[in-house]
């Protein structure tokens, strides 16, 4: 799918942030840990959520999405055998469904999960955890799981991993006994999953900043829960506003405490931020300052905003550098920006960005965040650009065309 982006001289308007993709996907999977009715609010209408709904439907789970109310009602009183829906390999988050399945089936198989294609996306941390819990795993054209006796684990992560942390929690909340997890990820999305599980009756306690103890319970009960606002969507629009001098946008329904690392960068760039409860006003300066920054596990700057910040810095007044420590080959946007004559390169994770006027042209959304970065590039170029493979953007940005229109950016499907 192609979209055409036309940018006004300044960006001005007001938008509302939707529910978080990276909290919602594991919470949908976690709903299958109970046989009772789970009601979720603030569920974003994005294609990754639709894919997860299709997988649940394929598993024989009752799932109803009311997109007007952003409400999803799930009832998993029965689950068919395998995770073999074609949607499983369309998104990485499908691997969260393994955890409920180990409590429903003695043996089952799953297709390999998908995921944005910026370099290797291994799942070795997850499989290692499941083996420690008492599952035999065979990796062939599918991944085959055979349950022996499930046992609690005492596990320290060698690398901070969002998905690994979440799967460790999802799978042990129903394992009798005491599980201890250390060096866990503490992204707001992980905390949202923990709050959701606690609302279902899970016993999870923090014993220090990055360690938790889980007391396994026999079953989890029904709940109603509202997904946290999407901090990466909010940060994406905050940086989009910075792409045009003297622009001003207001974003509503954010959780400001999740955005401290983004607010810090916007201030360093010379942007002005006014916070009013769960709303934020962002004003861009005449000229963007250059900065040097590293991505890292929360509370450091999120890797998911690196492609978007890299693009904004092309408007900087001098050379900037970003050290991408999570995915050293997250560079699919760099290839596209170079087509627009940007002076930007990545070498072993270190991105060097020189001030560059951008020409218009046709670029490609190679993955979700690269796609949003191309919208930022179109705004910076001030000319009309065509973005190919725009379906990637719809995977994680709810009502992207409506929201761009609300801040003055014309976006139309070609």
**Beta-bridge mates of residue 65:** 72
The nearer residue to ligand EPZ, 239 or 284, going by C-beta atoms, is 239
As given in the structure block, the two tokens for residue 123 are 């799942």
Interaction of residue 326 with ligand EPZ, rule CB under 6 A: yes
Q: Residue 12 CB, nearest distance to ligand EPZ (Å)?
A: 27
Describe the crossing of helices 231-241 and 368-381 by its angle, rounded to 10 degrees.
20
Bridge partners of residue 63, in order along the sequence = 74
Q: What Cα–Cα distance (Å) separates residue 327 from each residue in 238, 347, 407, 412?
A: 23, 12, 31, 32
Tokens 């469904």 belong to: 97
Select the residue interacting with ligand EPZ from 123, 194, 251, 293 (CB under 6 A).
Answer: 123
Taking Cα atoms as reference points, which of 145, 142, 181 lies closest to residue 161?
Answer: 181
Determine if 146 is a binding residue for ligand EPZ (CB under 6 A): no
Q: Are the CB atoms for 364 and 301 separated by under 8 Å?
A: no
The answer to whether 19 contacts ligand EPZ (rule: CB under 6 A) is no
Q: Does 333 bind ligand EPZ (CB under 6 A)?
A: no
Size of the site for ligand EPZ (CB under 6 A): 25
List 226's β-bridge partners, or say none: 41
CA–CA gap between residue 318 and residue 346 (Å, rounded): 17
Residue nearer to ligand EPZ on the CB measure, 245 or 296: 296
Instruction: Record the tokens describing residue 296, joined without a space.
Output: 């890292």
**How far apart are alpha carbons 18 and 37 in whole angstroms?**
23
> Is 159 among the residues that bind ligand EPZ (CB under 6 A)?
yes
Residue closest to ligand EPZ (Cβ): 163
Stretch that binds ligand EPZ, among 69-77, 155-163, 344-352, 356-364 (CB under 6 A): 155-163
Question: Which string of x and - marks every residue 336-375 that binds ligand EPZ (by CB under 6 A)?
Answer: --------------------------------xx------
Q: Does 396 bind ligand EPZ (CB under 6 A)?
A: yes
Residue 116 among the catalytic residues: yes
Q: How far is the CB of 146 from ligand EPZ (least distance, A)?
A: 20
* Nearest residue to 271 (alpha-carbon basis) of 300, 251, 294, 295: 251
Which span sits near ligand EPZ by CB under 6 A: 2-10, 162-170, 193-201, 282-290? Answer: 162-170
Q: Which of 57-65, 117-125, 130-138, 258-266 is the region at the interface with ligand EPZ (rule: CB under 6 A)? A: 117-125
Decide the pairing of beta strands 143-147 and 107-110. Answer: antiparallel
Question: Applying CB under 6 A, which residues contact ligand EPZ?
Answer: 21-22, 25, 92-93, 116, 121-126, 159, 161-164, 185, 303-304, 326-327, 368-369, 396
Give the active site residues. 116
């Amino acid at each position: 799918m192609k979209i055409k982006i036309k940018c006004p001289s300044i960006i001005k308007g007001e938008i509302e942030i939707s529910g978080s993709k990276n909290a919602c996907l594991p919470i949908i999977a976690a709903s299958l840990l109970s046989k009772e009715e789970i009601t979720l609010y603030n569920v974003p209408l994005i294609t990754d959520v639709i894919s997860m709904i299709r997988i649940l439907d394929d598993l024989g789970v009752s799932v109803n999405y009311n997109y007007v109310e952003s409400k999803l009602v799930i009832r998993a009183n029965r689950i068919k055998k395998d995770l073999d829906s074609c949607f499983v390999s369309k998104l990485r988050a499908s691997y969260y469904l393994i955890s409920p399945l180990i409590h429903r089936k003695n043996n089952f198989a799953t297709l390999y999960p998908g995921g944005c294609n910026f370099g290797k996306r291994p799942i070795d941390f997850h499989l290692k955890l499941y083996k420690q819990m008492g599952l035999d795993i065979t990796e062939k054209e599918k991944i085959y799981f055979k349950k022996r006796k499930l046992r609690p684990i005492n596990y320290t992560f060698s690398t901070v991993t969002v998905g690994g942390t979440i799967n460790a929690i999802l799978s042990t909340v129903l394992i009798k006994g005491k599980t201890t997890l250390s060096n866990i990820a503490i992204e707001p999305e992980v905390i949202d999953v923990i709050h959701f599980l606690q609302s279902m009756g899970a016993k999870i306690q923090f014993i220090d900043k990055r360690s938790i103890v889980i007391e396994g319970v026999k079953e989890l009960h029904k709940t109603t829960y509202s997904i946290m606002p999407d901090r990466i969507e909010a940060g994406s629009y905050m940086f989009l506003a910075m792409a045009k001098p003297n622009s001003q946008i207001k974003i509503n329904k954010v959780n400001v405490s999740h955005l401290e690392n983004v607010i810090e960068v916007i201030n360093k760039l010379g942007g002005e931020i006014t916070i009013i409860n769960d709303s934020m006003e962002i004003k861009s300066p005449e000229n963007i300052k250059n900065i040097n920054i590293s991505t890292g596990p929360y509370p450091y700057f999120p890797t998911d905003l690196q492609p978007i910040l890299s693009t904004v810095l092309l408007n900087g007044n001098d050379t900037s550098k970003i050290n991408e420590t999570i995915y050293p080959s997250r560079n699919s946007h760099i290839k596209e920006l170079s087509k627009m004559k940007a002076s930007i390169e990545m070498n072993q994770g270190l991105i060097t960005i020189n001030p560059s006027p951008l020409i218009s042209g046709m670029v490609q959304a190679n993955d979700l965040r690269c796609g949003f970065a191309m919208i930022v590039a179109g705004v910076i170029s001030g000319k009309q650009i065509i973005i190919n493979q725009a379906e990637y953007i719809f995977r994680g940005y709810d009502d992207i065309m409506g929201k761009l229109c609300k801040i003055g950016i014309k976006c139309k499907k070609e």
